[in-house]
Chains A and B, each alone.
Chain A
Amino acid sequence: LAKTTQPISMDSYEGQEVNITCSHNNIATNDYITWYQQFPSQGPRFIIQGYKTKVTNEVASLFIPADRKSSTLSLPRVSLSDTAVYYCLVGDPYTGGFKTIFGAGTRLFVKA
């Protein structure tokens, strides 16, 4: 199982861009990188998924270097409502989410 390492917590201010980096040194060839967001007392919610290079959607961007040993979730112009825990997961979508592990995640606190 590919293990991920990400910062325990981060602080930011409203309007800033936030970049959260995740290390996954033993990522496998078929593994994808997926990020989830979780608000207190709610279930995690899918943010973005990618395999290589850059992926962008209406919420975030995901940057994946060529060696795929790390990835960076970029949240543009954060607001107070982006205060949440962000999880980086690595796994093969065809063999099942059960092989992906939700670690402790990164607690992002956005200040006014």
Chain B
Amino acid sequence: DADVTQTPRNRITKTGKRIMLECSQTKGHDRMYWYRQDPGLGLRLIYYSFDVKDINKGEISDGYSVSRQAQAKFSLSLESAIPNQTALYFCATSDWASGTDTQYFGPGTRLTVL
């Protein structure tokens, strides 16, 4: 969905480096999420945020941190990247007021840690 953008789309980095993945949305949604997907597997939730002042850990938050700079922006950081963090990362948004909580996903960031 073009309303949810992620930068960069691809990134290759080395073990131990700090990496930031950024997500922006123009949908006006209050909720934002970060997921990772490993080959052949489903999505696993890393962090989620219901609004700027509300950030929560998901299923696999170890080794990651996030920042909700504004309602429209949600960044994911890998403080010290390791090879098993090589994955496809997705940002998503949803709107509590819609009553459906349908999630809208960005195009993904493919991260490779060497």
Contact = CB atoms under 8 A, between A and B. Distances in A.
Contacts of B110: 41
Range for the number of chain A residues in contact with chain B? 20 to 34
A43 B102 CA distance: 13
A93 interface: yes
Contacts of B1: 43, 45
A43 B56 contact: no
Interface in A66-112: 87, 91, 93-94, 96-98, 101-105
A49 B102 contact: yes
B97 to A, nearest CB: 10
B64 interface: no
B23 to A, nearest CB: 11
16 contacts: A34-B102, A41-B108, A42-B107, A44-B103, A93-B98, A93-B100, A96-B31, A96-B48, A97-B33, A97-B103, A98-B48, A98-B56, A101-B42, A102-B35, A102-B44, A104-B41
Closest A-B pairs by Cβ, 8 of them: A43-B105, A93-B101, A102-B43, A102-B42, A98-B48, A46-B102, A104-B42, A43-B90
Given A43-B107, A97-B33, A101-B45, 17 more contacts: A32-B100, A41-B110, A42-B107, A43-B4, A43-B92, A43-B106, A43-B108, A44-B90, A44-B103, A44-B105, A49-B102, A97-B31, A97-B101, A98-B33, A98-B45, A101-B42, A102-B44
Interface of B: 1, 4, 31, 33, 35, 40-45, 48, 50, 56, 58, 88, 90, 92, 94, 96, 98-108, 110
